[in-house]
């Protein structure tokens, strides 16, 4: 039995007759939440693809003059060609474009995480620094990533460092803000417990402040990593460096190779999903259970 | 000289909305002697908790001084353990680890800390729950862990800020008894802030009544340490007197000036 749609309550009800104590051992009757979630995900994804298909049909029937709108079938067919034939976009295979984007993303995010975390920890540990530090952080937050175009061109010229700069500069503020907020949210009473027990400042920081703030810090990193990915694709479209998924979308659209552009979008989407849903969500749930904060 | 000497202490809080300071404690003079169980009672907002926080060293007086055995209190210290009103356990630590957390690491080896913690967990009747996380415990059990944590520190003086106010009546009575037992067992000096006259009567050897804001010492009662029953004639007389005075001091429109050294 898959037990996809049964609730825990139903299963416990089923166990009632088998016990006389206060324990209902569900054993293998546990509802399969994991498969259920995957099922829900695929239903949602199927819905998006259906809408896409409807739009394709409608456009190609009533609006198309020269160029057809690539539907799911054409796009996934192109995706298959990307990986099975030596299909090149601007002289580079899709794997190279993806690798280039991932590399920039990791570099930009790492730089931002180091700066954002240290800034956030500093702001979270002192009120005066927080008041002062929030000003530059807010200014950073208010400037849209691509508006850094002139700055980055001036600093780094037309090369890959420009894209990395744009990611880093937009990712710093959510990480810094969440880290600082997490530290400032730690209940006063727990800090008082530490100080009455004679714990040193550094012990209190490591044993009380950081664990309490861990989830906020993690969610800051999660927002940062997602923002960075989005920013990277747009940055690559503008700071044309002849390599990367953003550039690939830009150039294939220019060549009227829409199916390839759409296939690149699908790749971006899948990578984002894997990072957010698989890596970060699992990590967050793990930390949550470690901290004794699960619902 | 007492264990704690409070001399001419004033405390005021700034209220930004009104741009004025509000005096919560006014000229408090109080000496807490060895092995005393002092209950501070008074209408809500009279600064009871503030007074306790200042003894603990979490807050500083605006004027005046507080001494712990003739040393001025400048901050919190392990000789003054606190049991807090609110939930104060670290949620990711087991019961055992929470109790161990408060123990001095320079003084005790990990083995010793483990032993002391287990001993006090047993004293508050939580044996068997050592490895449970606090989120699986009831409110009463959590507060018991906090009691074990405070007593395990082997403090000179124990400060309690309405420790059981969020618990139901029955659990509360139960924990009061347990506190009383451990107190008799360990011979400690205790200051308990409460708004329950009954609780004060049950536990205290001295009751201090504060007036409403700004809080001043209104009246004090010395009680016998051994009480057979709260319904005895003597205790009923105390109770009636305290309730009468509580009413008088709550209705006082102008700040009352009384000689505190009765």
State the pLDDT confidence band at B262, using cuts at 50, 70 and 90.
Answer: very low
Q: Residue B226 and residue B241: Cα distance in Å, rounded?
A: 19
Q: Residue A195 and residue A205: Cα distance in Å, rounded?
A: 11
Shared domain check, A59 and A136: no
pLDDT at A189 over 90: yes
Q: Is residue A2 part of a domain?
A: no
Shared domain check, A196 and A151: yes
Counted domains in chain A? 2
Closest residue to A198, CB basis, from B90, B92, B104: B104
A187: which chain B residues are within 8 Å (Cβ-Cβ)?
86, 88
- Residues A96-124: tens digit of each pLDDT: 999 999 999 999 999 999 999 999 999 99
Number of C-alpha atoms within 13 angstroms, CB side, residue B163?
32
Given A40, A71, A102, which residue is the final one in a domain? A71
Mean of pLDDT values over B169-192: 88
> Is any Cβ of chain A less than 8 angstroms from the Cβ of B24?
no
Q: At what angle do helices B139-152 and B110-123 cross, to 10 degrees?
A: 130
> Is any Cβ of chain A less than 8 angstroms from the Cβ of B75?
yes
Shared domain check, A152 and A27: no
Closest residue to B91, CB basis, from A192, A207, A292: A292
State the pLDDT confidence band at A2, using cuts at 50, 70 and 90.
Answer: low
- Residues A146-173: tens digit of each pLDDT: 999 999 999 998 888 999 999 999 999 9
What is the ipTM, given to two decimal places? 0.88
Shared domain check, A43 and A95: no
- Could you tell me the residue range of the domain that residue A166 belongs to? 88-290
Given A71, A101, A119, which residue is the final one in a domain? A71
Q: Return the pLDDT at B181.
A: 86
Shared domain check, A281 and A243: yes
Q: Return the pLDDT at B214.
A: 86
pLDDT at B256 over 80: no
Shared domain check, A146 and A100: yes
Shared domain check, A246 and A139: yes
- Residues A40-52: tens digit of each pLDDT: 999 999 999 999 9
Q: For chain B, what is the mean pLDDT? A: 89
Q: Is residue A3 part of a domain?
A: no
Q: Return the pLDDT at A225.
A: 92
Q: For chain A, what is the mean pLDDT? A: 91
Q: Is residue A54 part of a domain?
A: yes
Phi then psi for B213, rounded to 5 degrees? Answer: -45, 130
Given A16, A46, A71, which residue is the final one in a domain? A71
Length of chain B equals: 262
Shared domain check, A167 and A138: yes
Shared domain check, A103 and A182: yes
Domain B1-73+155-262 has CATH 3.20.20.70: no
Shared domain check, A61 and A128: no
Reduced to 3 states, what is the DSSP secondary structure of residue A22?
Answer: coil
> Is any Cβ of chain B less than 8 angstroms from the Cβ of A198?
yes
Q: Percentage of chain B with pLDDT > 70?
A: 95
Q: In chain B, which segments carry CATH 3.40.50.300?
A: 1-73+155-262
Length of chain A equals: 295
pLDDT at B52 over 90: yes
Q: Is residue A193 part of a domain?
A: yes
State the pLDDT confidence band at B259, using cuts at 50, 70 and 90.
Answer: very low
The minimum CA-CA distance between B210 and chain A, rounded to whole Å, is 24
> Is any Cβ of chain B less than 8 angstroms from the Cβ of A192?
yes
Contacts of B132 (CB under 8 A, 6+ apart): B94, B95
Q: Is residue A101 part of a domain?
A: yes
Q: Return the pLDDT at B252.
A: 58
Shared domain check, A221 and A94: yes
Instruction: Enter the pTM of the model.
Output: 0.84
pLDDT at B104 over 70: yes
Lowest mean pLDDT among A132-136, A264-268, B252-256: B252-256
Q: What angle do CA A268, A176, A129 make, to 5 degrees?
A: 165
Q: Is residue A81 part of a domain?
A: no
Q: Is residue A229 part of a domain?
A: yes
Q: Is residue A269 part of a domain?
A: yes
Burial (CB < 10 A; 0-12, 13-18, 19+), residue A66, is exposed
Shared domain check, A94 and A43: no
> Is any Cβ of chain A less than 8 angstroms from the Cβ of B21?
no
> Please, what sign has the CA dihedral across residues B226, B231, B235, B239?
positive
* B101 with A207: Cβ contact below 8 A: yes
Mean of pLDDT values over A80-103: 93
> Is any Cβ of chain A less than 8 angstroms from the Cβ of B9?
no
- Residues A192-219: tens digit of each pLDDT: 999 999 999 999 999 999 999 999 999 9
B80: which chain A residues are within 8 Å (Cβ-Cβ)?
196
HEC secondary structure over chain B? CCCEEEEEEEEEEEECCCCEEEEEEEEEEEEECCCCEEEEECCCCCCHHHHHHHHHCCCCCCEEEEEECCEECCCCCCCEEEECCCCCCCCCCCHHHHHHHCCCCCCCCHHHHHHHHHHHHHHCCCCCCCCCCHHHCCHHHHHHHHHHHHHHCCCCEEEEECCCCCCCHHHHHHHHHHHHHHHHHHCCEEEEECCCHHHHHHHCCEEEEECCCCECEEEEEECCCCCCCCCCHHHHHHHHHHHHHHHHHHHCCCCCCCCCCC
Q: Return the pLDDT at A1.
A: 58
What is the helix (H) or strand (E) element at residue A169, kind and residue range?
helix A160-184
Q: Which DSSP letter does residue A93 get?
A: E
């Amino acid at each position: 039995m898959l037990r996809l749609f049964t609730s825990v309550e139903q299963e416990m009800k089923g166990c009632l007759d088998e016990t006389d104590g206060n324990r209902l051992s569900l054993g293998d009757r546990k509802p399969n939440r994991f498969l259920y979630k995957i099922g829900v995900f695929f239903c949602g994804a199927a819905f998006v693809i259906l809408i896409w298909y409807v739009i394709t049909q409608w456009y190609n029937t009533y609006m198309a003059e020269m160029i057809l709108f690539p539907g799911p079938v054409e796009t996934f067919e192109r995706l298959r060609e990307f990986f099975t034939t030596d299909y090149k976009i601007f002289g580079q295979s899709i794997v190279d474009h993806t690798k280039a984007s991932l590399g920039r993303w990791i570099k930009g995010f790492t730089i931002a995480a180091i700066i954002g975390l240290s800034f956030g920890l500093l702001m979270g540990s002192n009120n005066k620094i927080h008041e002062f530090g929030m000003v530059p952080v807010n200014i950073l937050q208010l400037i849209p990533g691509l508006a850094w175009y002139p700055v980055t061109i001036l600093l780094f010229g037309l090369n890959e460092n420009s894209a990395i700069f744009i990611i880093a500069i937009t990712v710093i503020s959510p990480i810094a803000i969440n880290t600082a907020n997490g530290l400032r949210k730690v209940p006063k009473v727990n800090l008082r417990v530490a100080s009455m027990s004679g714990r040193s400042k550094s012990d209190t920081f490591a044993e009380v402040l950081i664990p309490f703030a861990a989830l906020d810090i993690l969610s800051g990193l999660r927002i940062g990593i997602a923002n960075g990915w989005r920013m990277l694709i747009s940055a690559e479209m503008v700071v044309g460096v002849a390599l990367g998924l953003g550039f690939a979308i830009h150039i294939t659209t220019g060549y009227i190779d829409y199916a390839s552009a759409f296939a690149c979008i699908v790749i971006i989407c899948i990578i984002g999903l894997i990072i957010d849903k698989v890596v970060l969500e699992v990590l967050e749930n793990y930390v949550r259970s470690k901290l004794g904060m699960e619902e | 000289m007492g264990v704690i000497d409070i001399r001419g202490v004033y405390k005021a809080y700034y209220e930004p909305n009104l741009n004025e300071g509000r005096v919560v404690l006014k000229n408090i003079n109080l000496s807490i002697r060895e092995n005393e169980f002092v209950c501070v009672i008074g209408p809500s907002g009279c600064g009871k908790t503030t007074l306790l926080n200042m003894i603990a060293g979490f807050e500083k007086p605006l004027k005046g001084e507080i001494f712990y055995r003739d040393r001025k209190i400048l901050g919190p210290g392990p000789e003054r353990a606190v049991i807090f009103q609110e939930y104060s356990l670290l949620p990711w630590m087991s019961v055992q680890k929470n109790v161990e957390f408060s123990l001095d690491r320079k003084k005790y080896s990990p083995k010793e800390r483990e032993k002391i913690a287990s001993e006090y967990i047993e004293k508050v009747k939580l044996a068997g729950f050592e490895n449970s996380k606090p989120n699986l415990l009831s409110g009463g059990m959590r507060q018991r862990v906090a009691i074990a944590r405070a007593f395990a520190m082997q403090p000179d003086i124990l400060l309690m800020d309405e420790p059981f106010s969020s618990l139901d009546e029955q659990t509360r009575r139960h924990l009061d008894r347990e506190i009383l037992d451990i107190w008799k067992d360990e011979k400690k000096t205790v200051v308990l802030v409460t708004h329950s006259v009954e609780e004060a009567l049950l536990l205290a050897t001295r009751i201090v009544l504060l007036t409403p804001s700004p809080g001043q010492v209104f009246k004090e009662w010395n009680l016998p340490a051994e009480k057979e029953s709260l319904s005895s004639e003597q205790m009923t007389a105390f109770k009636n007197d305290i309730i009468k005075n509580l009413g008088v001091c709550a209705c006082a429109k102008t700040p009352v000036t009384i000689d505190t050294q009765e």
